[in-house]
């Protein structure tokens, strides 16, 4: 009787261990994506905060390039905004709000 209880307990502990490992893996992978978005938002805020790079009026986001910390090459403002989850399809509206442009936006 003791052997059956011990085997059952071992199987339960193994299954619980697998569940904990899977949950930990899931949390790590989803948090990595969230960290990437936050990092892109910080880079975008630094880029659009520098009015010498973007003056809040120009709408050709593909021709404006920003330095990003995760690469040696610059990224276009359009690509950086998309990576940060900012909608650029409606003109400058959402980007102006994110970048605190206020009355500078066209």
> pLDDT tens digits, residue range 30-77?
887 788 889 999 999 988 888 888 888 877 888 889 999 888 898 988
d(CA 48, CA 69) in angstroms, rounded, equals: 15
The SS3 call for residue 48 is: helix
Dist. CA 95–CA 87, nearest whole Å: 7
Which residue pairs, CB below 8 angstroms and at least 24 apart, start in 8-12?
none
> For residue 82, what are the domain limits?
2-104
Number of structural domains the chain divides into? 1
Structure tokens at 75: 């990224």
Is the per-residue pLDDT at 91 higher than 70? no
């Amino acid at each position: 009787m003791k052997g059956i209880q011990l085997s059952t307990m071992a199987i339960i502990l193994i299954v619980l261990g697998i569940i904990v490992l899977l949950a930990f893996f899931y949390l790590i992978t989803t948090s990595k994506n969230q960290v990437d978005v936050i990092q892109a938002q910080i880079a975008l805020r630094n880029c659009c905060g520098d009015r010498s790079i973007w003056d809040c009026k120009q709408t050709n986001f593909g021709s404006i390039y920003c330095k990003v910390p995760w690469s040696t090459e610059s990224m276009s403002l359009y690509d950086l905004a998309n990576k940060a989850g900012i909608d650029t399809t409606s003109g400058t509206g959402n980007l102006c709000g994110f970048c605190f442009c206020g009355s500078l936006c066209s």
